[in-house]
Chain A
Amino acid sequence: MTDPFPEVEDEAPARSAQGLRTLRLFLWAAVALVAGIGLFALYGEKPAAPEQAVDYADSIGGAFELTASDGSIVTEQTLKGTPYAIFFGFTRCPDVCPTTLARLAQLRERMGAEGDKFRIVFVSVDPGYDKPEDIRRYVELFGTPILGLTGSDAQIAQIVSAYHVFYEKVPVEGGDYTIDHTASVFLMDRAGRLQSLIDHHEDADTSLAKLERLVA
């Protein structure tokens, strides 16, 4: 009699414990859902994030003035109107530079007539060594027209800064040096804006598709 609702009192804590369990489960589900949404936002939508690419593209390229192998002056205005693939390197680079230029030459050949619709531009980041004549002889190795450019230290610094290219002279034993440098190829459209990049590790078909889009 003093305890009119014994079952209820007995049940109440049980029910509230069950309620807590349900709540906890619900909260965990909510956490999982939020985490899932977060992960999806981070990774799921990555392929469709062109806004960032556009911002990046606008920061690449710009004014420069360099000397071609025939002694003529080439600026960003000279190149306007024709898309170009621009690569930074040095003639004494025994590995990545010749590989990259030869690959571009091969891709151009695969494109047939379309391959004539873009320029291949090679800029030396070793102006102390690479004179216009050195660059002419070097680019001639690749059997396709390549516009080889060099300039004064200040002129190279200008274009390197415009393209956000990294380069650094590194001494090796015996008083010689090598140069660390950005190995990507910048694909610039007719207006001189970055359209895409060719990565050294990507396969030839991927690069080919990018070049075909560049000249389209």
Chain B
Amino acid sequence: MFRSFCAGSALAGALLLGACDAAPETPTSRIAVSQPWSRETAPGQDAGGAFMTITNSGTADDRLIGGSSSVVGEVQVHNVTLTDGVMRMRQLPDGLAIPAGETVTLAPGGYHLMLMRLTQPIERTGPVPLTLEFERAGSIEVTLAVQSAGAEQPGEVGND
């Protein structure tokens, strides 16, 4: 009812549009994380990557801005690009946008969370706890399933 009223006013191009923007419900971010995973690292290799699929089924855009873990000094959001045969990795200082109604995948060769200053190697035997920080949704705890060093897929291990 309310929606059709808004659609009607939008079609009419009326100033009422402004009123429709202020919808009765406050927009919210609803974040779900699936298949969070990482790759094993060698002793002495103090950096790793974390990958996952993030879905925002809410009505408000959100941003992944970082995270923390007991086995990591710092977590940063990074993006990798390959142009003219050169790999470039850059920090996304404002985080990664997770728009409302969309799914964003963090995977090798693209977006990832950079796990910096590992206090211990990431080993295949031990899943890694990670707390993700979102601008709106706040903290979300995940457990990274650990794959082999060069794995390109999360594998069969599901997680939430």
Interface residues of A (CB under 8 A from B): 91-96, 98-103, 105, 133-134, 137-138, 140-142, 166, 170, 172-174, 176, 178, 180-184, 197, 199-201
Contact = CB atoms under 8 A, between A and B. Distances in A.
A141 B151 CA distance: 11
Given A101-B150, A173-B76, A96 B87 contact: yes
The main secondary structure of chain B at its interface with chain A is: strand
B8 to A, nearest CB: 49
A102 B42 contact: no
A173 B75 CA distance: 11
Contact of B150 (A105, A197, A200): A105
A91 B42 contact: yes
Interface residues of B, number: 36
B154 interface: no
B143 interface: no
A201 B81 CA distance: 11
Interface of B: 39-49, 74, 76, 78, 80, 82, 85-91, 93, 108-109, 112, 114-117, 148-152
Nearest to B149: A141
Given A91-B45, A95-B109, A137-B44, A181 B152 contact: no
Contact of A94 (B48, B82, B90): B48
A103 B150 contact: yes
B80 A95 contact: yes
Contacts of A91: 42, 44-45
A133 B150 contact: no
Those 8 A-B pairs whose CB atoms lie nearest each other, nearest first: A102-B150, A94-B49, A141-B149, A137-B42, A183-B87, A92-B47, A98-B150, A96-B87
A95 B112 contact: yes
7 contacts: A92-B46, A93-B47, A93-B89, A94-B47, A138-B42, A170-B90, A172-B91
A20 to B, nearest CB: 50
Given A94-B39, A96-B109, A102-B151, A200 B87 contact: yes
